[in-house]
Amino acid sequence: MPVMTMTYSRVSKAPQRGFSLLELLVVLAILMIIVAVVTKSAIQLQQRNATETNKVDLTQETRQFMDQIVKDLHHAGFPGLNMFDVATSTANPNNVALGLTSVNTTAITFEGDVDGSGKVSQVSVQLNPAGGPCPCTLRRGAVDKTIGGAPVYYTEVDNVMNLDIFTAYQFDGTKINLATSSCATAATCKALNIKTIGLKVNLRSNSLDPIDQAYSNITMQTEAKINN
Average pLDDT over residues 188-204: 94
User: Do the domain assignments include residue 37?
Assistant: no
User: Do the domain assignments include residue 6?
Assistant: no
Q: What is the pLDDT of residue 208?
A: 75
User: Do the domain assignments include residue 194?
Assistant: yes
Q: How far is CA 89 from the centre of its chain?
A: 40
> pLDDT averaged over the chain?
86
Q: What is the pLDDT of residue 92?
A: 87
Lowest-confidence segment of 19-23, 47-51, 156-160, 184-188 by average pLDDT? 47-51
Question: How many CB atoms sit inside 10 A of residue 13's CB?
Answer: 5
User: Coil, strand or helix: which one is 29?
Assistant: helix
Domain count within the chain = 1
User: Do the domain assignments include residue 93?
Assistant: yes
User: Coil, strand or helix: which one is 119?
Assistant: coil
Q: Is residue 48 very low, low, confident or very high in pLDDT (cuts 50, 70, 90)?
A: confident
Handedness of CA 83, 86, 88, 90 (dihedral sign): positive
Range of the domain at 170: 50-225
User: Do the domain assignments include residue 32?
Assistant: no
**pLDDT at residue 91 greater than cutoff 60:** yes
**pLDDT at residue 15 greater than cutoff 60:** no
User: Do the domain assignments include residue 30?
Assistant: no
CA distance readout (Å), 159 to 64, 126, 132, 168, 222: 16, 14, 11, 23, 18
Average pLDDT over residues 21-29: 85
User: Do the domain assignments include residue 217?
Assistant: yes
CA distance readout (Å), 153 to 15, 141, 143, 147, 211: 85, 4, 10, 16, 37
**pLDDT at residue 102 greater than cutoff 90:** yes
- Residue 47 burial by Cβ neighbours in a 10 Å radius (0-12, 13-18, 19+): middle
CA distance readout (Å), 32 to 37, 38, 86: 9, 10, 85
- Residue 62 burial by Cβ neighbours in a 10 Å radius (0-12, 13-18, 19+): buried
pTM for this model (two decimals):
0.78
Average pLDDT over residues 78-101: 86
Q: CA-to-CA distance for 164 and 169, rounded, in angstroms? A: 14
Instruction: For residue 215, give the H/E element and its range.
Output: strand 215-225
User: Do the domain assignments include residue 25?
Assistant: no
Average pLDDT over residues 65-71: 93
Q: What is the pLDDT of residue 162?
A: 96
Q: Is residue 49 very low, low, confident or very high in pLDDT (cuts 50, 70, 90)?
A: confident
**pLDDT at residue 190 greater than cutoff 80:** yes
Q: Is residue 2 very low, low, confident or very high in pLDDT (cuts 50, 70, 90)?
A: low
User: Coil, strand or helix: which one is 68?
Assistant: helix
Q: CA-to-CA distance for 214 and 216, rounded, in angstroms? A: 6
Q: What is the pLDDT of residue 69?
A: 93
Identity of the amino acid at 162: N
Lowest-confidence segment of 115-119, 124-128, 160-164 by average pLDDT? 115-119
**pLDDT at residue 7 greater than cutoff 70:** no
